[in-house]
């Protein structure tokens, strides 16, 4: 998996990746993972492109994209906030955490802020149950989030990093 | 360097055994005795500790030791999970075996000064016994009843260095299988050990291997199921993060036994650290010729490829997983044919869970009898549980089968958080059930858990206390199954949705006694008529809570109250006579339903109350109660 957004045409990059695979159709899911890294999401156009390259019906590509929750067909914000909704977090107040973030960002889970800075989602267990309730912003895990001020501080850090026009230290960046 | 013979492997082992010399010494030396001798500092690098800055601790430690001229004799390593996640980040110093808990990067200078320069343990970071308040440096009560087989190397070796794994007898079991055993005898040993699938099903592993081997085919596959989707379970991830080579070695052994030349590891994309460590492990195994052609000079060739999941719980089911590897929608298919007959690309395929595989190398080395000597009559060996929820010591624990829930929750887990009362333990995730207090002393194994309406599952163990509403918990799990149902069969797709609707109705105070019967009837129908394990077990959280916590359902339905005070629609906010009339609540009420004159007690219009709790949060006199 590649980490850095590329200055080159993402379609060319995707094609190069597909060409390098020993099997094509069997690697549809890996190709979609790669495409989502390159484009940030999987719009219609990208799905059709992949279908044409693999010589399979675009309905099949759509079927796979819509099946797996990891794939998204809507553009995401610059930073993706994921609230862990695993059972351990749930019994330690994940719902409250989710409501608090929704309040602070002014969006519902599954939506993106108007300034396209944040998308909010939930996921099922990242295995940091000792730190419950937790959220993950891009690749980074934040735990023991029971105070609204702590959440605000974390979100503000990401806001500021944008204002200062520099990337925060992230593990997995979403190419813009 | 490529290892070309078994002797090459043994030579490499003896060369690097020095790496382990000071670790986990049976007779630990005191901190002052260890002064000036070579020492090793193991810092936990599991996901939990990683999120709490453990990589930074490693960096700071190295820099501080360098600054004080101690870097030569003190080696700092990052390991896999120590299990005691509640108290992370954790680090252990060898050979004095001192365990430090809740270490932060800013503690490093003081820690180095006290422990390594002054030669005395830094008291404030040691474990404190909650009862005696005594500080304990090693041999913590958390580990007393545990037995680490699957987790044997987590926290002992660096997962990113194959030489460390080789030094702890790594790949010795493979060598034994290649040069001193026949595939039949390997199957016999595994059968004799009584090892059963740790992913939840509990199918005998030896039998699975034998069935796959006995099916005529020109090619076979071995798949490691690392699609750990049960929310609240993280044992497979910890094994892959802490000891990836043990899984690779087991896959090689399985591959040789069933005569497969290719293996796949299907892992969740949500586990970036585990993926990273696996990639390193595969690369190193290839460099040393432990993967690839003619392994250790034998005629056995084997390769392993990682396949990424994309967020679908149902892909933990073996046929769905196989479809996902084939690049299609991860929907399960009807069995038979079983994967052992017709699996990946139509070839006989053996799918084993991570924890199952991690048990294989020690079984080969120590024998089936040794493993069969641990556990209960029908469930052998140990089981790793991810202990979480309202328990004092959240973490990863490995205990012999037959250990009771009480031992796990109270002895190892340290009891319930904030001195509250235990209400239920949930095992098996969305497929399991809630176990009430009366079964706390049941020895846990595959059969006993099914007998009390739950199941082993992958090993998630969530503890709940008096403040958890069992109806709401059942609703939570149903929300999960509705989300994750793949939609292929009607019973699961439509049935779970109906169950969820009824539960929502009950939690909103609109339920009837008829709904309770409907839940049971529908639940049993879904169990009987679903295609795969997801649907067959989806009603378990409801059926078990109705059986053991019927009074809570009745409270919601008949009395229209939620005894735990969780279900919002059933809550009622009231202002008591402690109210000083400060008007703060009225100012903050979004519905404008609080009235009263300044300096006079206020009151809430129940009809218009949104039950948002804003008044309760704002009140400075504890005058508002909810019940």
Distance CA B584, CA B565 (A): 24
- Alpha-carbon separation of residue A153 from A147, A159, B253, B435 (angstroms): 10, 10, 50, 39
CA closest to B344 among chain A residues: A26
Q: What is the pLDDT of residues A82-134, one digit of tens each?
A: 999 988 899 899 999 999 999 999 999 999 999 999 999 998 888 788 889 99
Burial of B334 (0-12, 13-18, 19+ CB in 10 A): exposed
Query: How much is the CA Rg of chain A, to the nearest whole Å?
Result: 18
Q: What is the pLDDT of residues B304-337, one digit of tens each?
A: 999 999 989 999 999 999 999 999 999 999 999 9
Q: Do B470-559 and B382-465 have the same topology in CATH?
A: no
- Angstroms from B563 CA to nearest CA on chain A: 16
Interchain contact, A129 vs B85, CB within 8 Å: yes
- Angstroms from B70 CA to nearest CA on chain A: 31
Question: What does the pLDDT read at residue B170?
Answer: 97
pLDDT of B510 higher than 90: yes
Q: Write out chain A residues lying below 8 Å of B394, CB-based.
A: 88, 129-130, 132
Structural fold of domain B572-626: Alpha-Beta Plaits (3.30.70)
Question: What does the pLDDT read at residue B504?
Answer: 97
Q: What percent of chain B has pLDDT over 70?
A: 99
Q: Write out chain B residues lying below 8 Å of A127, CB-based.
A: 47-48, 228, 233-234, 237-238, 271, 386
Distance CA B282, CA B276 (A): 10
Asked if B227 and B309 count as a contact pair (C-beta separation under 8 A), the reply is yes
- At B303, give phi and psi (nearest 5°): -130, 150
Coil/strand/helix, residue B56: helix
- Angstroms from B527 CA to nearest CA on chain A: 22
Question: What does the pLDDT read at residue B607?
Answer: 86
Structural fold of domain B470-559: de novo design (two linked rop proteins) (1.20.1440)
Task: Pick the more confident residue, B229 or B251.
Answer: B251
Of 3.30.9.10, 3.40.50.150, 3.30.70.260, 3.10.20.600, the CATH number of B382-465 is 3.10.20.600
Q: What percent of chain B has pLDDT over 90?
A: 83
Beta bridge partners of B384: B398
Q: Tell which CATH architecture fits domain A79-163.
A: 3-Layer(aba) Sandwich (3.40)
Q: What is the pLDDT of residues B71-87, one digit of tens each?
A: 999 999 999 999 999 89
- At B239, give phi and psi (nearest 5°): -65, -45
Interchain contact, B388 vs A87, CB within 8 Å: yes
- Angstroms from A89 CA to nearest CA on chain B: 7
Question: What does the pLDDT read at residue A169?
Answer: 41
Beta bridge partners of B383: B399
Question: What does the pLDDT read at residue A3?
Answer: 52
A64 closest CB neighbour out of B52, B329, B464 = B329
Domain boundaries, chain B: 29-137, 162-372, 382-465, 470-559, 572-626
Q: What is the pLDDT of residues B289-308, one digit of tens each?
A: 999 999 999 999 999 999 99
Coil/strand/helix, residue B340: coil
Interchain contact, A67 vs B329, CB within 8 Å: yes
Look up tokens 């800075």; give the residue.
A117
- Cβ partners under 8 Å of residue B262, min gap 6: B219, B221, B222, B255, B302, B303, B304, B305
Coil/strand/helix, residue B431: helix
For testing the chain B interface, which of A31, A130, A131 should be mutated: the one with the most B CBs within 10 Å? A130
A129 closest CB neighbour out of B309, B388, B429 = B388
- Look up residue B488 and give its two tokens: 């292929």
- At B40, give phi and psi (nearest 5°): -130, 135
Distance CA B205, CA B96 (A): 40
Least trusted range by pLDDT, from B36-40, B91-95, B205-209: B36-40
Determine the average pLDDT of the residues in A155-171: 64
Distance CA B410, CA B408 (A): 6
Question: What does the pLDDT read at residue A6?
Answer: 52
- Cβ partners under 8 Å of residue A160, min gap 6: none
Question: How far is the first Cα of chain B from the last one, in angstroms, to the nearest whole number?
Answer: 69
CA closest to B345 among chain A residues: A26
- At B322, give phi and psi (nearest 5°): -65, -45
Distance CA B605, CA B599 (A): 19
Q: What is the pLDDT of residues B94-141, one digit of tens each?
A: 988 999 999 999 999 999 999 999 999 999 999 998 888 999 998 899
Interchain contact, B429 vs A28, CB within 8 Å: no
Interchain contact, A129 vs B386, CB within 8 Å: yes
Sign of the Cα torsion B306, B310, B314, B319 reads negative
Interchain contact, A130 vs B48, CB within 8 Å: yes
Distance CA B182, CA B253 (A): 11
pLDDT band at B611 (very low <50, low <70, confident <90, very high): confident
Coil/strand/helix, residue B167: helix
Interchain contact, B328 vs A64, CB within 8 Å: yes
Asked if A39 and A5 count as a contact pair (C-beta separation under 8 A), the reply is no
- Look up residue B259 and give its two tokens: 């005569």
Taking the Cβ of residue A129 and every Cβ of chain B, the question of whether any pair is shorter than 8 Å is answered with yes
Q: What is the ipTM of this complex?
A: 0.86
For testing the chain A interface, which of B312, B388, B616 should be mutated: the one with the most A CBs within 10 Å? B388
pLDDT of A175 higher than 50: no
Q: What is the pLDDT of residues B216-225, one digit of tens each?
A: 999 999 999 9
- Cβ partners under 8 Å of residue A72, min gap 6: A36, A41, A42
pLDDT of B208 higher than 70: yes
Q: What is the pLDDT of residues B11-47, one digit of tens each?
A: 999 999 887 877 866 677 888 888 888 899 999 999 8
Element (H, E) at B169: none
Q: What is the pLDDT of residues A21-65, one digit of tens each?
A: 988 889 999 999 999 999 989 999 999 999 999 999 999 999 999
pLDDT of B393 higher than 70: yes
Question: How far is the first Cα of chain A from the last one, in angstroms, to the nearest whole number?
Answer: 17
Domain boundaries, chain A: 10-67, 79-163
- Angstroms from B229 CA to nearest CA on chain A: 7
Distance CA B323, CA B321 (A): 5
Structural fold of domain B29-137: Glutaredoxin (3.40.30)
Determine the average pLDDT of the residues in B334-348: 95
Name the residue among B240, B275, B208 with its Cα closest to residue B355. Answer: B240
DSSP-assigned letter for residue B45:
-
Q: Write out chain B residues lying below 8 Å of A126, CB-based.
A: 47, 270
Interchain contact, B329 vs A63, CB within 8 Å: yes
For testing the chain A interface, which of B84, B231, B389 should be mutated: the one with the most A CBs within 10 Å? B231
A131 closest CB neighbour out of B52, B462, B476 = B52
Residue contacts between A and B (CB atoms, under 8 Å): 136
Distance CA B431, CA B379 (A): 20
Cis status, amide bond into B89, omega within 30 of 0: yes
Query: How much is the CA Rg of chain B, to the nearest whole Å?
Result: 27
DSSP-derived pairing of the beta strands B98-100 and B91-94: antiparallel
Beta strands in B446-493 (DSSP E): 460-465
Planar angle of CA A68, A73, A77, nearest 5 degrees: 110
Q: Write out chain B residues lying below 8 Å of A154, CB-based.
A: none
Interchain contact, B473 vs A91, CB within 8 Å: yes
Determine the average pLDDT of the residues in B597-620: 88
Structural fold of domain B162-372: Rossmann fold (3.40.50)
pLDDT band at A171 (very low <50, low <70, confident <90, very high): very low
Q: With b meaning 16 or more CB within 10 Å and e meaning fewer, what string describes B581-594?
A: bbebbbeebeeebb
């Amino acid at each position: 998996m590649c980490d850095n957004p590329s200055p080159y045409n993402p379609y060319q990059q995707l094609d190069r990746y597909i060409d390098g695979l020993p099997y094509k159709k069997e690697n549809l899911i890996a190709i979609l993972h790669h495409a989502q890294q390159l484009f940030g999401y999987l719009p219609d156009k990208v799905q059709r492109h992949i279908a044409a390259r693999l010589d399979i019906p675009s309905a099949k590509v759509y079927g796979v994209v819509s099946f797996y929750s990891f794939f998204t067909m809507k553009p995401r914000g610059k930073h993706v906030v994921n609230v862990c909704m695993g059972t351990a977090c749930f019994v330690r107040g994940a719902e409250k955490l989710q409501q608090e973030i929704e309040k602070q960002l002014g969006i519902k889970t599954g939506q993106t802020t108007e300034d396209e800075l944040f998308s909010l989602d939930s996921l099922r267990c990242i295995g940091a149950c000792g730190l419950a309730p937790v959220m993950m912003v891009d690749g980074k895990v934040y735990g023991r989030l029971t105070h609204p001020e702590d959440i605000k501080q974390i979100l503000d850090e990401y806001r500021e990093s944008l204002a200062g026009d520099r990337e925060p230290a992230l593990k997995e960046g979403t190419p813009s | 360097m490529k290892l070309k013979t078994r002797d090459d492997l043994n030579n490499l082992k003896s060369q690097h055994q020095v790496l382990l010399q000071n670790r986990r010494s049976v007779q630990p030396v005191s901190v002052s005795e260890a002064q000036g001798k070579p020492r090793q500092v193991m810092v936990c690098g599991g996901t939990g500790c990683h999120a709490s800055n453990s990589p930074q601790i490693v960096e700071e430690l190295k820099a501080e030791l360098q600054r004080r001229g101690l870097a030569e004799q003190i080696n700092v390593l990052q390991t896999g999970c120590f299990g005691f996640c509640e108290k992370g980040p954790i680090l252990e110093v060898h050979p004095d075996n001192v365990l430090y808990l809740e270490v932060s990067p800013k503690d490093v200078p003081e820690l180095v000064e006290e422990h390594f320069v002054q030669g005395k343990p830094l008291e404030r970071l040691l474990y404190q016994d909650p009862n005696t308040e005594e500080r304990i440096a090693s041999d913590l009560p958390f580990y007393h009843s545990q037995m680490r087989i699957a987790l044997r190397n987590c926290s002992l070796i660096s997962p990113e260095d194959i030489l460390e794994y080789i030094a702890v007898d790594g790949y010795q079991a493979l060598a034994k299988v290649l040069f001193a055993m026949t595939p039949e005898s390997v199957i016999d040993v595994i059968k004799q050990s009584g090892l059963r699938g740790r992913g939840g099903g509990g199918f005998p592993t030896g039998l699975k291997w034998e069935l796959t081997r006995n099916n005529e085919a020109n090619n076979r596959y071995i798949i490691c199921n690392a699609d750990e989707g049960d929310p609240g379970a993280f044992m497979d991830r910890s094994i892959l993060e802490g000891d990836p080579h043990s899984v690779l070695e087991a896959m090689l052994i399985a591959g040789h036994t069933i005569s497969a030349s290719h293996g796949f590891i299907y892992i969740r994309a949500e586990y970036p650290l585990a993926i990273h460590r696996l990639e390193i492990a595969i690369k190193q195994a290839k460099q040393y010729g432990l993967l690839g052609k003619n392994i250790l000079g034998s005629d056995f060739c084997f390769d392993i490829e990682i396949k990424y999941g994309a967020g679908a719980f149902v892909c933990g089911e073996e046929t769905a997983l196989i479809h996902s590897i084939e690049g299609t929608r991860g929907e399960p298919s009807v069995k038979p044919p079983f994967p052992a007959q017709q699996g990946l690309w139509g070839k006989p395929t053996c799918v084993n869970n991570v924890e199952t595989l991690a048990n294989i190398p020690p079984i080969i080395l120590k024998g089936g009898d040794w493993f069969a000597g641990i556990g209960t009559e029908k469930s052998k060996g140990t089981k790793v549980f991810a202990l979480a929820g309202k328990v004092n010591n959240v973490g990863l624990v490995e205990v012999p089968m037959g250990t009771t829930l009480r031992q796990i929750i109270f002895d190892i887990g340290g009891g319930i958080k904030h001195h509250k009362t235990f209400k239920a333990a949930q095992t098996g995730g969305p497929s399991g059930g809630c176990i009430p207090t009366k079964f706390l002393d049941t020895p846990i194994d595959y059969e006993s858990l099914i007998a009390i309406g739950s199941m082993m599952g992958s090993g998630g163990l969530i503890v709940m206390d008096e403040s958890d509403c069992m109806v709401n918990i059942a609703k939570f799990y149903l929300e999960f199954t509705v989300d994750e149902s793949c939609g292929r069969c009607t019973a699961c797709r439509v049935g779970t949705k109906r169950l969820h609707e009824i539960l929502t109705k009950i939690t909103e105070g609109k339920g009837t006694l008829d709904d309770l019967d409907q839940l049971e009837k529908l639940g049993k129908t879904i169990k009987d008529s679903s295609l795969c394990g997801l649907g067959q077990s989806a009603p378990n959280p409801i059926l078990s809570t109705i059986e053991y916590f019927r009074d809570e359902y009745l409270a919601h339905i008949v009395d229209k109250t939620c005894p735990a005070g969780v279900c919002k629609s059933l809550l009622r906010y009231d202002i008591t006579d402690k109210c000083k009339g400060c008007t703060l609540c009225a100012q903050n009420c979004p519905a404008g339903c609080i009235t009263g004159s300044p300096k006079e007690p206020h009151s809430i219009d129940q009809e218009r109350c949104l039950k948002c709790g804003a008044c309760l949060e704002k009140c400075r006199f504890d005058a508002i109660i909810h019940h």
